[in-house]
Structure 1
Amino acid sequence: MEIMSPQNTRVKEWAGLQEKKHRDKARKYIVEGVHLVQEALMAEADVECLAYDLEKGVPAELKKLLQSVQGMEVIGVTAAIISKCSSTNTPQPVFAIIRKEQQGLEAILSKPDSLVVVLDGVQDPGNVGTIIRSADAAGADGVILGLGCADLFNPKTIRSTMGSMFHLPVVEGDLSDILPQAADRGALLVSTSLQGEESCYQHDFHGSQWLLIGSEGKGISAETAQLVDKSIIIPMSGRAESLNAAMAATILLFEARRQRG
């Protein structure tokens, strides 16, 4: 199948997925570029259709994967259409439209000895995506995005995950509802604070631990802070006042990874 006109109704729908309100209404999102489309296909995400630049053809890396995927449309489009649907200045030659799937909170909650990262009000999409990538790299069991975080399906967040969003459960929800459920199942809720009781290198990361990361400006909210069991500090000897949220999360994740072997 081919679509040649940027005014086509489907093209308008795809381009609309750059905005959250349209993503929420359609329950779909867009991923751009060979690497992310490849990750989505390999993870068996619910891909509705794949659009590629007719002049360049289907990228070689995707050809083999497409043979094994059932029920997905493959549509040739013009460079103008790709440009209209892209969020970057140098559009990639392929994108996919993916249906949002039910998120796996129960899978995270029921995992024994789980290592989970919880984000509270982290608004920068680059930070949210990078933390998901670090959680994937450190072998964490999931990431929870509280209210007020950057949207998981924002194109910038998706790009920053580098495909990791397809490798582990990422759940968006209300922390005042989710965190008490985690505590009831035996998870220790740990936050970082400059007033922390203990260094992150002395803290014992064994057992089920949920690591709470707040926004750079404000830290975690007062409501979330009331649910925390323990706050720890990342010791710093230089003159920087604080670390970016993604760096702080990465340090904690890899210290946990080191201790848990």
Structure 2
Amino acid sequence: MMEAKLISSLQNPLVKKTLLLKEKARERKKTGRFVVEGRREMELAQKGGYVLETVFFCTEVFAETGIDSFLGNPQTELVQLTQQVYEKIAYRETTEGILAIAKSKSHALDGIQFKNKSPLILVAEAPEKPGNVGALLRTADAAALDAVLIANPKSDLYNPNIIRSSVGCVFTNTIGMGSTEEIINFLKANHVTIYCAALSASKNYVECNFKPATAIVVGTEATGLTEDWLQNSNQNVIIPMQGEIDSMNVSVSAAILIFEAKRQRGF
């Protein structure tokens, strides 16, 4: 294992930098860096091609012998923290004693290339709650979707709440971000059929053909999808309700539609 420097002061500049990255979306955007915490999340970040620039560990919590797998990049800096300092910068209450500063990726639409001729895509318009974003990303990973596209994002993708609620699936999915107009144009340019989850002019989801290139589009629970999506939808779809309410949590609805598409495709 490479030699680690020790930080024991809460006033250390690197500690202050890490706290800013953890707490401030503006700092993450400005620097193109974010904090990822936990062994599984760090492993998934590496698997997803993210560069861990600085790895922090606390020997009171994390066994030093398990750190070598995170040091594949020769430019990675290794830093040992005292327990007091580690607990200050850690995000979780129940933590694993290891975290890192990682370099963000571009999520521009023009960087997305589909391996499948008939991709299956999830589009979420303006998701507000980090927990919902994380749940959508977990579902997308479970279904091995070709891409997740976030239109008019309200939350920073590297928000610690999204990383935690997605259990690291923010790193395992192909994610694109843009305005509603940009994503609609992207889907049309790639000859993708647009199915919008909406109450009006809708067809029962089990009667729809999700086998060709398909985008399943979901909106917020409060207001649904904007008019731009409804005007550009090839078909609105609905999940019939048998109780008193007319909608479900957006991540639950998305999962039902996605796995119906997977069933039709024989997976």
TM-score class, shorter: over 0.9
Using the aligned pairs only, state the percent identity: 28
The one-letter code of the counterpart of 1:119 is A
Amino acid in structure 2 at the alignment position of 1:127: N
Given the alignment, which residue of 152, 159, 179 partners 2:184? 179
Distance 2:20 2:230 in 1: 37
Contact 1:129-1:161 within 8 A present in 2 as well? yes
* Residue 7 (structure 1) aligned to one of 5, 11, 33: 11
Structure 2 counterparts to residues 1-261 of structure 1, below 5 A: 1-17=5-21, 18-58=23-63, 62-66=66-70, 68-103=72-107, 105-106=109-110, 108=112, 110-111=114-115, 112-261=117-266
| Secondary structure, counterpart of 2:232 in structure 1 | coil
Give the superposition deviation at 1:196. 4.4
Question: Greater shift after overlay, 104-113 or 76-85?
Answer: 104-113
Contact 2:180–2:228 (Cα < 8 Å) also in 1: no
Provide the secondary structure at the position in 2 that maps to 1:30: strand
CA change 1:67–1:153 in 2 (3 A) is: closer
Partner secondary structure for residue 236 of structure 1: coil
The answer on whether the counterparts of 1:109 and 1:182 sit within 8 Å (CA) in structure 2 is: no
Superposed displacement of residue 57, structure 1: 4.1
For residues 96 and 7 of structure 2, what CA distance do their matches in structure 1 show? 17
Contact 1:105–1:171 (CA<8 Å) still a contact in 2? Answer: yes
Using the TM superposition, give the Cα deviation of residue 126 of structure 1 relative to its aligned residue in structure 2, in angstroms: 0.5
Unmatched 5+ stretches in structure 2 = none
The CA deviation at 1:94 is: 1.1
**Whole-angstrom distance in 2 between the partners of 1:106 and 1:113:** 18
Residue 164 of structure 1 aligns to a residue whose secondary structure is coil
Q: Matched residue pairs, number?
A: 260
Deviations 1:82-116 (A, max 9, x none): 22223333444111111112226345454421111
Q: Which runs of 4+ in 1 moved over 6 A?
A: none
Cα distance between partner residues in 2 of 1:107 and 1:182 = 14
Structure 1 length as normaliser, TM-score? 0.92
Q: Determine helix, strand or coil for the equivalent of 2:27.
A: helix
DSSP-derived class of the 2:80 partner: strand
Q: What TM-score does the superposition give when structure 2 sets the normalisation length?
A: 0.90
Counterpart Cα distance in 1 of 2:112 and 2:153? 21
Tell me how far 1:58 sits from its aligned partner.
Answer: 4.0
How much does 1:14 deviate? Answer: 0.5
Partners in 1 of 2:64 and 2:256 — Cα distance? 37
Amino acid across the alignment from 2:150? L
Gaps of at least 5 residues in structure 1 are none
Deviating more after overlay: 248-257 vs 236-245: 236-245
The DSSP-based 3-state class of the residue aligned with 1:117 is strand
39-48 or 138-147, larger mean C-alpha shift: 39-48
Cα displacement string for residues 10-62 of structure 1 (whole angstroms, at most 9, x for unaligned residues): 111110012101111111111111221122233331111110113234465x4
State the one-letter code of the partner of 2:33.
Answer: K
Give the residue type in structure 2 aligned to 1:16: L
Which deviates further from its counterpart, 165-174 or 245-254?
A: 165-174
1:117: how far off? 0.7
Could you say if the C-alpha distance between residues 196 and 5 of structure 1 is closer, same or farther in structure 2, counting changes exceeding 3 Å? farther
**Contact kept in structure 2, 1:134 and 1:250, CA below 8 Å:** yes
TM superposition shift of 1:142: 1.0
